Structure 1
Amino acid sequence: MTLFRLYSILLGTTLLLCGFSWGLGNDSCTKAQELSSKLESLHEESEIRLAEAQILSLCPDGAAAHFVSALQLERVGNIDGAIGEYRKCLQQQRSFPEASGNLGLLYAQKGMNDEAMVELSRGLSANSNPRYHKAMGRILAEQKVYPLAIHHLSEAGRELSRDTGIGMSLADIYTATGKTDKALEEYRRVLVIDPNHEQAHIRQAALLLDRNETDKALEELKQAELVNPQNRDVHLMMAVIYEKKGDTKQADYRYLLGGKPKKDQPQVVPAAVKLSDAAVTTDADSTATVLQAALKDSPEKAVEIYEKLGNAYRLAGKDAEAIAAYREAAHRNSTSSDVYLNLGILYEKEDKLDEAVVAYKQAINAKPSNADARLRLANIRDARGFYQEAVEQYVEFLKLKPDSPDIQLKLARIFARNKELNLAIDAYKAVLKQLPDNLEANRELAPLYRAKGMNDKAIEHYKRALAQQKDDVETRTALVAIYVKNKQYDEITELLKGAVELFPEDANNHYKLGLIYEFKKDYESAIASYKKAAELKPDHARSLNALGRLYMKTGRITEAKEVLEAAKTADPNLEETAILLNNIRDEFSPEPKKISKKLKTRSGKKTKKGKASKSSKSKKPQKKGTAKSKK
């Protein structure tokens, strides 16, 4: 086999084995990622530093290396730099739970909650890290998705048992959902861990006040005062308690410390107030008193009174009381769709999804055009895997509110998930009719067209997605795969040029561009790309190997040997480097090869000749005269 024929085979093999995935995975990088997943369990600084150095040496250009760089930037407080490195890591390897989870934590730190939830979910899919659970729980609590928030915070608390922040978040959720006993229990746990936790004392006192346990509330406030004597809220709360106890002197003193004059007496709401007035009263207890009185005076209006009572309690955040009032209205055959809708929402907050489903269906029966009830019912059925019912409700919702591309996108994803490709395509097209440049719709529609063999359509939507997010590595990779199949090498070149422009400091991008130039036999451009990769990263073994291969092709043997030796030093396990170096020796040092063959041939015959000569030497030579006489 000649050298140049070997070269052609090696280049073709390189491109085929790459499959234009561009060398993102090898044994060393796999080991590096496995090691990176164990960094979280290391506690000694020396162990962490040693492990990070090992990762960088195993896979200096891979996703794990970017992960380590991000960790190091986080340690010095460079949050934006760390986010950039985590993104590069995930661009190279989308499935990297630790990178996703850590990126989610940084997004949450910057208040980017939507982005944080996406990355935290990816992190938690394979890594039940308590820090990820804690961050996810807090975001969900902010969004008032309380059942899921409780789940994540409880999971975090299993391992982070001394973290008072988790207990405070759980207590606040229980307070918001009317579960006072559980809230008090969480506050007490926090105070066991940290007896000087000021807010735990204050919030516990507020709950105790709501339960009219004034003495216990006062004790908690006194503890809070010891922690921070300057807290005006504590003094004002104490003033209210002393006022209830009839100690006006102490009440006036506490009002003074709180920076306010004596609190005005609360206004008494007349018992004869109209129902409409009571419904808008902000004081839920006063409203309840008025409505209960009205119930006695006007029993024939019981349904209407219970409806208004439920509304008052719901607006005041007293969910348990609101549920009881709404249920009573429903029991009395309320025809108000909103009563059932509100009841369903409250059930959903308490994670009573079966009851919520029933309530939403009753809301729809009472008023088929209740779009909100249909949407909420659809979301629950979708989450529980009831595909047909979810689709039915989403379709009905879209009839009522056709200008809802976000819901149309949900419907499209359900169809796609259930392999209903034609329906999914139609649904995605409906989204794009309203939002032509929607990133998710274009990116998710493209692979559906590709699955149906409609590559031109797929390319169109991949391009639209790329126009919205130029650094979308997954979309670039998908486009390259189509172009490779179609042998559209000019298009591949343009994509790779774009990657180099976006990430000019990434040696891998220059290496990939070099590969395609080499495949197109544009050797000068390929050499320039490989050189640039080697300049950016002097130990970039694949670029050095490719550069050596190309130098051999163009007859620059001395330079080829030099860079191939450098490639071998950078990665002794590269088989192609060893093959090329051996062929330099074999093809360009022919004389030793011939000598070696002769030696090998002679060595095979040496034993026979050797034996013969030895036997002849053992016999003494006869004299001529003696020989003649014998004859």
Structure 2
Amino acid sequence: MKKVQALCPDGGAALYLKGVSLEAQGKNEDAVAAYRNAVAKTPNFLQAKGRLGLLLLTKGNREEASVLLFDAARQQDDPRYARALADIFLEGKLYALALAQYRQAQSAFAGDVALHLGIARSYTGLGDQQHALESLREALRLEPDNVTVHLELAALYQDGKLFDQAAAHLRQAIRVAPANANAHFRLAQLLEVMGKRDEAEQEYVLAGVQRAVTVADHLKRAAKYEDAGDFALAAAEYGSLLVKNPDTAGVREKLGDAQLAAGRDAEALSAYEDALRRKEDSSRLRYHLGTLYERKGDLDEAVANFAAALRLDPGNSDAHRRLADIHALRGELDEAIASYRELVSRQTDNPINYLKLARLLEKRHAYKDAAAAYDKALALDSSNSEAHRSVAFLLLRMKQPEQAERHLRDALQIDPRNSQARDALISLLVKQKRYDDTVLVLEEDARLNPQSADSQYRLGVIYAFKREDDKAFRQFDAALKLKPDHARALNAMGKLYLKEGDRDKAREAFAAARKADPDMLEPVELWSKLSADSKHHVKAQKSRSSKPAKKKKSTVKERDRKKKGGKRSSKR
């Protein structure tokens, strides 16, 4: 560590090691700052990104952590990153993604009960109860007295109508944690379902719950829990009501809503389906069913339920939107466009709907209609950088460069870091041979992205094109300091050396470019040509050395010599 800090005290590696040391000392806030600085210095420093992501996750900053961890996990085989991503995906109810990440981390965390619980919950979310049971049994083998595992097993067995097994696991949980009111309450409910009312009464007492005696009491208590945000308890009240009064109308939908709010998708789906079997249908219920099936990946069922929601209530905008998005995902453009046209006719003040409609129309090659939809979206929200960029791309396709340029500049005015808009503007200006304007855009890009080797390189290219070799050399040099194996910058540097007569330096640059990117043909050809001509060049140089040379301006070669401490001669 001391050696790294001595060689490069302000570099990304030194900052990363500083972060590791601070983290080991328990100074997590300082470690976060160090890792952030390391990433800022070296954007592709995956270890720094990964450790920063893990720390941010412990602080509850899941959104930023997920971006960092995904970037690190994609390029570096570290099971810690996969494990952390799995937990994030599970919390977001992205069950298939969570399961894939858990599987990737499983060999490294084979003895971790929490990982097996995560796998089980992922399978449950996907509706695969058998594999969920297998994962929970493995977790129980690792830790036989884990209360959470017993409770999860009880829930799965109860869903499968295996009441005796469910009760056994609830009793095991109570044996380990006698004061666990939730376990007592769940066992009481289960015993009621099994017809063991006296035993159920005892468990209700141990749970500290006063049993309601009327439907109104249950509904009142459930509403109270919902107002307090305790949806699991609200669901328990609705469940208790249905045990005693199974024919109470409308309660199953309420039960489904509470389960959905509590994050219990499988239980919510079961409650809604039960309501449908009893002919308790509604647009709202169908919409929630569609959402649950969409989460499971069953798009056919999702479409059927969203369509049913619209039949019951044509004004259900959320159902229109979800149906349109699924049609678009499937490539069913006509159906998606029809859904969004219906949506914008009902919600005339929502710019996002117009933006989505415009993109669908553009895919359908209905360019005039798409442009009109983009204009409507921008009329409602002129500060949307992506809308300006999208309409600009469409206008370029429609051969309207002046209007496209206006929108591209608007996009960059709103969001200077909109790289797609900037690249399109640069391309447009180059095609129009407006090189001075191109330089201004590229200079701004280089200022905004000082750590981007590509940004420095592109500015160097335009300087070289304008024959401003000094500036071009500085930019290529800046790119290579950020990324020493930047093939295109090495190639461009080789061209500058070749232009000014330093064939040795040119040969070195082309060789380095070839090594950095063997598929890049230009440096290979130039390098080969130089190698073949080397003997001829030496003879020609000797021949020219007998003739007096004119004074020249400072060249790239001479600047390079100065950097190494050489002296500039006044005569050749």
Indicate how the Cα distance of structure 1 residues 442 and 312 shifts in structure 2: closer, same or farther if over 3 A, else same.
Answer: same
Aligned to 2:155: 207
Aligned to 1:319: 268
After superposition, residues 150-549 of structure 1 pair within 5 angstroms as 150-162=95-107, 163=109, 164=112, 165-173=114-122, 183-192=132-141, 194-195=142-143, 198=146, 200-201=148-149, 203-204=151-152, 207=155, 213-220=166-173, 234-237=177-180, 241=184, 265-271=208-214, 273=216, 277=220, 280=223, 282=225, 283-284=234-235, 286-288=237-239, 290=241, 305-316=248-259, 317=264, 318-330=267-279, 334=281, 336-504=282-450, 509-526=455-472, 529=475, 541-542=490-491, 544-549=493-498
CA contact (8 A) 2:82 2:104 kept: no
- The whole-number CA distance in structure 2 between the counterparts of 1:314 and 1:120 is 32
Deviation at 1:75, TM superposition (A): 8.6
CA contact (8 A) 1:517 1:525 kept: yes
Aligned to 2:90: 141
SS at 1:306's partner residue? coil
Aligned to 1:80: 36
Deviation at 1:391, TM superposition (A): 1.8
SS at 1:267's partner residue? coil
Indicate how the Cα distance of structure 1 residues 183 and 589 shifts in structure 2: closer, same or farther if over 3 A, else same.
Answer: same
Deviation at 1:498, TM superposition (A): 1.8
- Residue 590 in structure 1 maps to residue 532 in structure 2: no
Deviation at 1:392, TM superposition (A): 1.6
After superposition, residues 605-616 of structure 1 pair within 5 angstroms as none
Worse-superposed segment, 427-436 or 480-489: 427-436
- The whole-number CA distance in structure 2 between the counterparts of 1:122 and 1:386 is 35
Give 5+ residue unaligned stretches, structure 2.
Answer: 1-10, 22-30, 189-204, 226-233, 516-522, 547-572
Higher relative contact order (CA 8 A, sep 6+): 1
Indicate how the Cα distance of structure 1 residues 275 and 430 shifts in structure 2: closer, same or farther if over 3 A, else same.
Answer: farther
Aligned to 1:3: none
CA contact (8 A) 1:171 1:187 kept: yes
Deviation at 1:446, TM superposition (A): 2.3
Aligned residues: 470
Cα deviation digits, residues 214-271 of structure 1 (max 9, x gap) = 443343566xx6xxxxxxxx342289659989xxxxxxxxxxxxxxxx9674223233
Indicate how the Cα distance of structure 1 residues 355 and 472 shifts in structure 2: closer, same or farther if over 3 A, else same.
Answer: closer
Deviation at 1:398, TM superposition (A): 2.4
Deviation at 1:488, TM superposition (A): 0.8
Partner AA of 2:99 in structure 1: S
CA contact (8 A) 1:445 1:461 kept: yes
Partner AA of 1:309 in structure 2: R
SS at 2:211's partner residue? coil
- The whole-number CA distance in structure 1 between the counterparts of 2:379 and 2:465 is 40
Give 5+ residue unaligned stretches, structure 1.
Answer: 1-65, 90-97, 226-233, 246-261, 297-304, 553-559, 594-631
Partner AA of 1:392 in structure 2: A
Deviation at 1:280, TM superposition (A): 3.4
- The whole-number CA distance in structure 2 between the counterparts of 1:421 and 1:119 is 39
TM-score (norm 2): 0.64
Deviation at 1:489, TM superposition (A): 0.6
Aligned to 2:63: 113
Indicate how the Cα distance of structure 1 residues 475 and 85 shifts in structure 2: closer, same or farther if over 3 A, else same.
Answer: farther
- The whole-number CA distance in structure 2 between the counterparts of 1:356 and 1:399 is 23
Partner AA of 1:385 in structure 2: G
TM-score (norm 1): 0.59
Deviation at 1:367, TM superposition (A): 1.8
Q: Of residues 563, 567, 592 in structure 1, which corresponds to 2:509?
A: 567
- The whole-number CA distance in structure 2 between the counterparts of 1:566 and 1:375 is 59
Indicate how the Cα distance of structure 1 residues 182 and 562 shifts in structure 2: closer, same or farther if over 3 A, else same.
Answer: closer
Indicate how the Cα distance of structure 1 residues 362 and 337 shifts in structure 2: closer, same or farther if over 3 A, else same.
Answer: same
SS at 1:268's partner residue? coil
Partner AA of 1:216 in structure 2: H
RMSD: 5.1
Deviation at 1:160, TM superposition (A): 3.9
Indicate how the Cα distance of structure 1 residues 122 and 544 shifts in structure 2: closer, same or farther if over 3 A, else same.
Answer: closer
Aligned to 2:551: none
Indicate how the Cα distance of structure 1 residues 532 and 113 shifts in structure 2: closer, same or farther if over 3 A, else same.
Answer: closer
Indicate how the Cα distance of structure 1 residues 115 and 475 shifts in structure 2: closer, same or farther if over 3 A, else same.
Answer: farther
Aligned to 1:602: none
Indicate how the Cα distance of structure 1 residues 372 and 528 shifts in structure 2: closer, same or farther if over 3 A, else same.
Answer: closer
CA contact (8 A) 1:105 1:116 kept: yes
Aligned to 1:557: none
Indicate how the Cα distance of structure 1 residues 534 and 327 shifts in structure 2: closer, same or farther if over 3 A, else same.
Answer: closer
After superposition, residues 31-110 of structure 1 pair within 5 angstroms as 79-80=35-36, 83-84=39-40, 109=57
Worse-superposed segment, 571-580 or 389-398: 571-580
